[in-house]
Amino acid sequence: MNTKAEQSKGTSGADIGKLVLAVLVLAAGIVGYTYLGNIGAASPLRLITILAAVIVALAIAAFTAPGRRARHFLAESQFEMRKVVWPTRDETIKTTGIIILVVIILSLLLGLIDLILKSVVLDWLLKLGS
């Protein structure tokens, strides 16, 4: 039996308020970025403004139920990535060579089919009609 308590799927009012606040902070950062561009402010200041807004908005959103689920998903994804067996350099080179060879062979076959169909249509079928 599962001893873990089931989490509710709904979003509480506090979470909705936090998400609205995060969107407002992000919108304020975008407005600040645009405003600083219109008055001719230095580019690093504009970049800092938008980066700070994005970081603050993400920090606020991280403390909501959807934010916790996203953090849990990312942690699980990192755990699963550790299980992946990556190919060696030699395997990668051999596989790439095979793929290139197959692409060349298929392109030659398609070119041959195109040439045959062109000659059939242009030389035989169109000459029969005249």
Q: Domain boundaries in the chain?
A: 13-81, 87-130
Contact between residue 68 and residue 77 where contact means Cβ atoms under 8 Å apart: no
Contact between residue 30 and residue 53 where contact means Cβ atoms under 8 Å apart: yes
Q: How far apart are the first and last CA of the chain?
A: 82
* Cα–Cα distance, 18 to 56 (Å, whole number): 11
Residues 74-100: tens digit of each pLDDT:
999 999 999 999 899 999 999 999 999
Place of tokens 């950062």: 29
Higher pLDDT, 23 or 8: 23
Q: What is residue 8's predicted lDDT score, i.e. its pLDDT?
A: 54
Higher pLDDT, 129 or 49: 49
Take residue 109 and report the two structure tokens written for it.
Answer: 């076959």
Name the pLDDT band for 3 (thresholds 50, 70, 90).
low
Cβ neighbours, 10 Å, residue 49: 21
Q: What is residue 9's predicted lDDT score, i.e. its pLDDT?
A: 61
State mean pLDDT over 20-28.
Answer: 93
* Cα–Cα distance, 65 to 13 (Å, whole number): 11
The Cα angle at residue 45 between residues 40 and 49, in degrees rounded to 5: 115
Take residue 67 and report the two structure tokens written for it.
Answer: 């934010």
What proportion of the chain, given as a percentage, has pLDDT over 70?
A: 88
Residues 42-86: tens digit of each pLDDT:
788 888 889 999 999 999 999 999 989 999 999 999 999 999 998
Give Cα 71 to chain centroid, integer Å: 17
Name the pLDDT band for 129 (thresholds 50, 70, 90).
low
